[in-house]
């Protein structure tokens, strides 16, 4: 598959969990390579992710987690790959691992991280509504905080609103039980 050699290149520039004997420090060159390769991976995943095997999906998620740990932050490159995974093969994602990183990105209130995280949440709301509903308590308050914070850029608020709308539409009963007030 076309994805394998690109993942190998990313792994060569990343601290992947389970590879204890290898440590790659964060440099501008490493970050630049990760950013470029992540954009390619995202495009491939969006186009042909539905053909991916579960083992490759797990390898890709582990790679993203390695990138986050290497940078000690949620990176744009890692989030780009998650956008591709959530769009191209949401059914293969192990959400336990990535959901805490999405929440961290929302809590950071950093523009790009918030926008990409909102996109992943929206894609998962459509691709895995029954599973993402279990994470409403993590995402909805964080998204509402972004909407209510006057210092947050309007563009981020639009993405936050879209993510809330997608969660509302796709997680129906669970969403309404916890986040909608009924009046009679």
Do residues 43 and 2 lie in contact, with contact meaning Cβ atoms separated by under 8 Å?
A: no
pTM for the model: 0.88
Cβ contacts of 128 within 8 Å, gap of 6 or more: 90, 91, 93, 95
Q: What is the pLDDT of residue 31?
A: 84
Output the six-digit token pair for 171. Answer: 């997680």
Q: What is the structure's pLDDT at 69?
A: 87
Which residue pairs from 21-28 have beta carbons closer than 8 angstroms and sit at least 24 positions apart in sequence?
A: 24/70, 26/70, 26/71
CB atoms within 10 A of CB 28: 7
Rounded to whole angstroms, the Cα distance separating 135 from 78 reads: 20
Residue 115 CA to residue 157 CA, distance in Å, equals: 9
Paired tokens of 184:
């009679």
pLDDT tens digits, residue range 45-71? 999 999 999 999 999 998 899 889 888
Q: What is the pLDDT of residue 16?
A: 63
Q: Residue ranges of the chain with pLDDT lower than 50?
A: 183-184
Alpha helices in the chain (DSSP H): 3-12, 28-48, 54-71, 76-88, 95-108, 111-127, 129-132, 136-148, 154-170, 172-179
């Amino acid at each position: 598959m076309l994805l394998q050699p690109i993942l190998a290149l990313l792994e060569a520039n990343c601290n992947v969990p389970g590879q204890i004997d290898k440590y790659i420090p964060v440099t501008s060159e490493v970050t630049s390579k990760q950013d470029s390769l992540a954009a390619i991976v995202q495009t491939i995943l969006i186009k042909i992710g539905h053909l991916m095997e579960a083992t490759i999906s797990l390898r890709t998620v582990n790679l993203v987690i390695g990138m986050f740990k290497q940078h000690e932050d949620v990176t744009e490159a890692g989030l780009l790959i998650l956008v591709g995974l959530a769009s191209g093969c949401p059914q293969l994602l192990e959400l336990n691992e990535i959901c805490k990183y999405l929440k961290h990105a929302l809590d950071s209130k950093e523009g790009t991280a918030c926008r990409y995280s909102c996109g992943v949440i929206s894609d998962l709301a459509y691709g895995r509504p029954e599973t993402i509903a279990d994470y409403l308590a993590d995402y909805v308050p964080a998204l509402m905080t972004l909407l209510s914070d006057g210092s947050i850029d309007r563009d981020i608020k639009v993405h936050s609103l879209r993510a809330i709308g997608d969660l509302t539409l796709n997680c129906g009963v669970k969403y309404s039980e916890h986040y909608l007030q009924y009046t009679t």
